[in-house]
Amino acid sequence: MPSSAGPGSAGPRSTGPTGAAPVRYIVRAANDDGALASFVASIRSDPAVRLVDTIGPSAGPPHTVVVETDPATAEAWKQRSRNQLMFEPDSPLSLF
């Protein structure tokens, strides 16, 4: 049975267009929340980027998203946004 990979779903992991393994990134707008909303709308049609989660108030647009993509694609999106988006590699939290 096919499954759709949406926010929070595991989905299949594959290499990106450059052959690099996907990495999770935390993405937020540097100054303009509209840039993040535009990014989220745009990546829905980009098979190289998977939206993992959105973070923000339930009654408004997200202020942060978590995506999975390869490093080259993340850098390309950052450049395309004219540095209006900040991409930070998502690291697992540890107690120590």
Mean pLDDT confidence for 59-64? 90
Residue 20 DSSP label:
P
What pLDDT shows up at residue 4?
38
Domain spans, the chain: 23-89
In this prediction the pTM is 0.75
Class of domain 23-89 (CATH, top level): alpha beta
Condensed to tens digits (0 to 9), the pLDDT of residues 5-59 reads 444 444 444 555 556 789 999 999 988 778 999 999 999 999 999 999 999 998 8
Sorted by sequence, the CB contacts under 8 Å of residue 24 that are 6+ apart come out as 52, 66, 67, 68, 89, 90
Give the whole-angstrom CA distance, residue 52 versus residue 38. 16
